[in-house]
Each structure stands twice: as C-alpha cells, then as structure tokens.
Chains A and B, each alone.
Chain A
C-alpha cells in the first residue's frame, strides 16, 4: 500500500519541477576588464510557472549587484535556458549564492501556492 502511494506521488509529481545547475559554478573571464562571468542552466517543468527571478547573495543573504540579460527570465514549460551572469571583481568575494526563484501566477481558489528556489554556491 505504501509503495503504491509513493508510486502515485512519483507519477503525479513528474512534471512540476524546477532545476538549476551547476551546483558549484565558477567565475570565468568575461572579456571585459574587472568583470567576471558565469553560465547557469535553468530547467522549467512547472506548468504553472513561466518566469524565474535570478539573484546573487552573500553568506548572510544580502543581495549582491550583478548584471544579466534578464533578471526575470521568461521560461516556457518543459524548456531550458542557459544564461550568463556578470559581476565586478570587487563583488566576487562577497558573492556566495546564485538563486532562481519561481514567480507565481494568481488563481481564484483558496490555496497554498508553492514558490521554489534553487541556490547554487560559489565555493
């Protein structure tokens, strides 16, 4: 019985997920003096989500300035995107986490919505 419940959960949850890699990104040269970049990959299989917000944070979760093409990335269902993030060298030491946060849409039902956030770490 327990196995059947787990199987049902597995099947029902197979298409509503959010994933970002790599887990431990590294800063690389960008071609611009004093600016480094890293490339991330984001995958959306949440049918209810079309946008993800990107953020970079310090060890104590303070936001760190950065530049990317879209801070809120449009991403269709079952699509992936690779995006570059740029940061100045004087902010690199403080940058610890890069996160993607799902942006939720409204509906008319009384419910608990699920916001998902995945954070990779600069080591």
Chain B
C-alpha cells in the first residue's frame, strides 16, 4: 500500500502543467482622415483664399499611426485648379502646411523636423498617435484681373508613405 501511494505521488508530480499562450502582434498602420474640409473665400475679385478672415476655411487633415517611425506624412498644397471656368491668364499660387495639433507631447517637434520639396512638406511620424495638419492655399489671378464666375476646385494631396 505504501509503495502504491509513493508511485501515485510520483505520477501526479510528473503531470505536466498545461499553459495556454495568448499571442498577438501590433501591426503598423496609417490612417489619413479629413477632419475639416477646405473652402475658398473670395475677399476680392482676383483672390481665392482659405483664410477664415475672408470667409474661407482651412482644411485640416489627421494622420493616425499605430507604431512610431513607420511612416512619413506628406502634404502638398495646391498649385493648380482641378476644375474651374476657362482662365486666360496665369494664377499665382501660395500655400503653407503646418502642424495644427498633436495628440502626444513628443510630436511638438514635428514642424521643426519637417522638410519641404516644392509645395510638399514631409513629416517623419516618429511618435505613434494622432497628429493634425492644416494646408492653407491662396490663388491670385494674373494682373489682378477678376476671376470669371463659377466654381473653383483645387486638390490638397495628403500622403502616408511607409518609411
């Protein structure tokens, strides 16, 4: 009897502990969202501007990333109309892309760390989270002539490019 109990205790002691693993991975991803649409105001006959003081609205774009150092945010302000009435003179374009707000304290240096190539500004997204950027746009018709009546549209390009 004593031997049997010893044998049973050995068997029970040798029984493996079953463990259930929970595995997971965090994938990098980038989401680009429009939070405020852009609208042109018309402060005078020859200017279209997104400046709120001229009844315009500056578009705001949000970039969400789940991992740091995985993407660049690249935003390009317009340099032509995608659709407009027929124009016989040149249009002078200006614009600026700036960091408007950020969800993480480490993003405060984004503007200083950004680079420009023509109308495009590139931001290395070095911190995971949400960042908001705005892109102003001003179009002035050549020789201060009046823009013909009609609807004018221009495209802001917001890109998230993997690093």
Q: Are B31 and A104 in contact (CB under 8 A)?
A: no
CB within 8 Å of B: which A57-102 residues: 97
| B118 to A: closest C-beta gap in Å | 14
Per-residue CB contact flags for chain B residues 12-41 toward chain A (1 = under 8 Å, else 0) read 000000000000000111111111111110
Query: Within 8 Å of chain A (Cβ to Cβ): is B159?
Result: yes
- Indicate the member of A5, A24, A110 with the most B CB atoms within 10 Å: A110
A56 within 8 A of B: no
Chain B interface size, under 10 / 10 to 19 / 20 to 34 / 35 or more: 35 or more
Contacts of B48 in A (CB 8 A): 110
Interface residue? A29 (CB, 8 A): no
Contacts of B157 in A (CB 8 A): 114-117
Q: B40 touching A112 by the CB < 8 A rule?
A: yes
Q: Which chain B residue shows the least CB distance to A45?
A: B33
Interface presence of B103 (CB below 8 A): yes
Is there a chain A Cβ closer than 8 Å to B162's Cβ? yes
Contacts of B38 in A (CB 8 A): 111-114
CB of B160 within 8 A of CB of A118, answer yes
For chain A, which range describes its interface: under 10, 10 to 19, 20 to 34, or 35 or more residues? Answer: 35 or more
Q: Is A121 an interface residue (CB 8 A)?
A: yes
Known: A23-B71, A97-B161, A112-B137. A118 touches B30 (CB 8 A): yes
Task: Verify if A18 is at the interface (C-beta below 8 Å from B).
Answer: yes
Contact B39 A116 (CB under 8 A): no
- B122 CB–A CB distance under 8 Å: no
Enumerate chain A residues within 8 angstroms of B154, measured Cβ to Cβ: 112-113
Chain B residues within an 8 Å CB radius of A13: 33-36, 60, 62
Query: B153 to A23, Cβ gap below 8 A?
Result: no
- Is B59 in contact with A17, judged by CB distance below 8 angstroms? no
Residues of B within 8 A of A116 (CB): 32, 34, 157-160
Q: What are 28 A-B residue pairs whose CB atoms fall within 8 Å in the complex?
A: A5-B101, A9-B60, A9-B132, A10-B35, A10-B130, A12-B35, A12-B36, A16-B33, A17-B31, A19-B31, A22-B27, A23-B28, A23-B29, A46-B33, A97-B162, A104-B82, A110-B151, A111-B153, A112-B39, A112-B50, A112-B153, A112-B156, A114-B34, A114-B37, A116-B158, A116-B159, A121-B162, A121-B163
